[in-house]
Amino acid sequence: MKKIGKKAIVALLSTTLILTGCGGGNKDGKKEDTKNVDEAEKNKFSTIVENDEKAIEGGTLQAVIATESAFKGVFSNEFQEDAFDSQLNDIALGALFTTDADFNITNDGAASLELDKEAKKATIKINDNVKWSDGEPLKAEDLIYSYEVIGHKDYTGVRYNADMTNIIGMEEYHNGKADTISGIKTISDKEIEISFEEVSPSLLVAGGGIWNSAMPKHYLKDVAIKDLQSSDKIRKNPVGFGPFVITNVVPGESIEYLPNEYYYKGKPKLDKIILNRAIPTAVVEGLKGGKYDVAILMPTEIYPTYADLENVTVLGREDFAYSYLGFKQGKWDSEKDEVVTDPKAKMADVKLRQAMGYAIDKKAIGQEYYSNLRVEATSLIPQLFKDFQNDDIKGFPYDPEKAEKLLDEAGYKDVDGDGIREDKDGKPLEIKFLSRSNGEEAEALSEYMMQEWEAIGLKVTLSSGRLVEFNSFYDKIKADDPDVDVYFGAWSVGSDPTPTGLYGRDAAFNYTRFASKELDTLLKNIASSKSFDLEYKNNAFKEWQEYMMDEAVVVPMLNYYEVLPVNKRVKGLDWSRGGTNSLSWEKIELTAEEPLK
């Protein structure tokens, strides 16, 4: 097979990082040093802003979300689908439950939870003083309305999954055989009871098996469920119960938030939040020039450009996210609401998938491309869930010789001697690769991966002939575009690592469209009542990880470390795990009228 030197490829990554991430590099063309963060430095990152300066009264916080693409602006937890909208909603919509540092529900938030394991029932009670931002009390009917919307046959979102079908009567309601969900009952105006087919520890974790949000029925009930996602009441004028209210939206570009005077924890200390969207390099310039106070979802690939700014404190923590290679195996059946796996899919051969995983040097990518703030992932459980990780599996460490051997064994041979392998029947093989645009750094990384696959004899070309912007990227994946064989994606799994919502047979987020009876069983084991036994739960997670590594339908790439640049005039910001896992927006204060330069 044709060989391409690893050093040359790493140099490609490094050079592109320097030239684009630093706004053009040195004028004399000399290479700048890349700032790699070692483990000791990572441990020094704080999650709390330390600021002893006296706060001013009110003030406007200037926030920015770093993205190349316009944000969708779906201001509903029931309908939003990506990390950008999730961050925007975090400021205004509100969460029902608060948690401790281990993500267990603590019952001191907007609602409390009581689980009766024997009866397989959960009771949710709303705090007496919780109101919507229009002054209406949060009621039991609002909790139930979320389930009715998600479970409805006309629902256009992606949250109808095993967590929902685990509720007694949900499937009958979804199929139109019942007008209500029999397993959800109103106890009082502030209390509901939910009955489940099965109970598991996930029910006790915020973001787990119990929905952590609500919808204002009094405000939305006159909108047909099929029209909710696109309605002005969600896209322009949402009503929430979080600390701030969305008051003005420039679609895809900016949002103005004002304090929610009815917020159950008390009125926030800021007068206003203005949040803009900007490309990452522009965010760096804005941080330098005192334009922004907080930079959300700041990419680590350009970390050296903002790491040492004198007017900025960079917070950091392990992330819920990991990146992965996803190999398309079939399609989504919208009639049955489940995946249909095609055993004849182009990427159906497990050795082909494994070979492509072994061909990529993930450790080098993390070091050279992400300043070591992303590290090689060995499983599909993020690194911060250490109790559930299977230390016996090593993922797909860089091993191009093993990759070539696997392809030889599978029958992918170079028939005509041009250095590129044909398929098992001796016919040309071209694999279509979908990768997201996110600045020129993304182009370098995609080029690197395709060159490494070429080095083991595979012809891999970009789907559509180019990198694709964020929204189009996921549109193509969700639509099972035939021009996509493998894609480079990423997940943020939330505070519950239970994988059913991402990899279950009935999970719309199962973008690879892979399902099997064995996988069904392994996922069911994780979500069963037996998992209240911690040893059983750990073993169930480990068995699932082993199976997924053997199948290699999803190849883990990198675990994430996330960073948050904060201007030094900000006070009271707490990014610690626990609470509602937000930025404690209601507590933030400012110590100067404008961001410091």
The confidence band for 439, taking pLDDT boundaries of 50, 70 and 90, is low
Statement: residue 128 has pLDDT above 60? yes
Mention the CATH class of domain 6-10+321-561: alpha beta
d(CA 407, CA 221): 56
What are the DSSP E strand ranges found in 262-373?
272-278, 294-296, 312-327, 330-333, 338-341
pLDDT tens for residues 7-65? 344 444 433 332 223 222 332 333 344 578 877 777 779 999 999 999 999 999 999 99
User: Residue range 227-256: average pLDDT?
Assistant: 97
Calpha distance 302→193 (Å, rounded) = 48
**What's the one-letter identity of residue 239?**
V
Alpha-carbon separation of residue 397 from 53, 300, 349, 452, 555 (angstroms) = 48, 22, 19, 14, 11
Lowest-confidence pick of 98-112, 177-191, 279-293: 98-112
**Mean pLDDT confidence for 559-567:** 95
Contact between residue 132 and residue 116 where contact means Cβ atoms under 8 Å apart:
no
pLDDT (0 to 100) of residue 389:
85
Give the distance from CA 526 to its chain's centroid.
Answer: 21
What span, in angstroms and rounded, lies between the C-alpha atoms of 529 and 551? 27
Token look-up 């996602």 returns: 229
- Compute the average pLDDT of residues 483-495: 92
**Whether residue 516 has pLDDT greater than 50:** yes
Q: Identify the CA nearest to 556 among candidates 311, 346, 363, 316.
A: 363
> Structure tokens of 38?
């070692």
Least confident interval from 127-141, 199-213, 282-296, 542-556? 199-213
- In sign, the C-alpha dihedral spanning 377, 378, 381, 382 is negative
Give the whole-angstrom CA distance, residue 448 versus residue 364: 11
Return the CATH fold of 49-92+242-311+568-597.
D-Maltodextrin-Binding Protein; domain 2 (3.40.190)
Asked whether 185 and 193 are in contact (CB, 8 A), the reply is: yes
Residue 121 has pLDDT above 70, yes or no: yes
pLDDT at residue 290, rounded to an integer: 97
What is the distance between the terminal CA atoms of the chain, rounded to a whole angstrom?
54
Residue 589 CA to residue 597 CA, distance in Å, equals: 18
One-letter identity of residue 181: I
User: Rounded CA gap, 213 and 201, in Å?
Assistant: 19
Average pLDDT, the chain: 91
Residues 131 and 142 sit within 8 Å (Cβ to Cβ): no
Which fold is adopted by the domain 95-231?
A: Dipeptide-binding Protein; domain 1 (3.90.76)
pLDDT band at 440 (very low <50, low <70, confident <90, very high): low
pTM of the model: 0.87
Domain-by-domain residue ranges, the chain? 6-10+321-561, 49-92+242-311+568-597, 95-231
Contacts of 108 (CB under 8 A, 6+ apart): 98
User: What are 272-276's contacts with CB under 8 Å, separation 24+?
Assistant: 272/60, 272/61, 273/60, 273/61, 273/63, 273/91, 273/244, 273/585, 274/60, 274/61, 274/62, 274/63, 275/63, 275/64, 275/65, 275/88, 275/91, 276/62, 276/63, 276/64, 276/65
Neighbours of 475 (CB within 10 A): 12
d(CA 133, CA 57): 22
| Angle formed at CA 114 by CA 108 and CA 491, multiple of 5 degrees | 75
Distance (Å, whole) CA 160 – CA 39: 40
Coil, strand or helix at 418: coil
Please give the distance of CA 491 from its chain centroid, rounded to a whole number: 4
Q: What is the DSSP letter of 167?
A: B
pLDDT of residue 580: 60
Question: Any idea which residue has 């041009």 for tokens?
Answer: 418
Q: Looking at this protein, which amino acid is placed at residue 313?
A: T
Looking at per-residue pLDDT, the higher value among 390 and 420 belongs to 420
**What's the pLDDT band for 6 if we cut at 50, 70, 90?**
very low
> From CA 549, how far away is CA 378, in angstroms rounded?
9
C-alpha dist (Å) from residue 455 to 358, 387, 419: 12, 37, 9
Of the candidates 548, 508, 525, 549, which has an alpha carbon nearest to the alpha carbon of residue 202?
Answer: 525
The candidate with the shortest Cα–Cα distance to 108, out of 264, 280, 233, is 264
The 3-state DSSP class for residue 32 equals coil
Model confidence pLDDT, tens digit, residues 325-383: 999 999 999 999 999 999 999 999 999 999 999 999 999 999 988 889 999 999 999 98
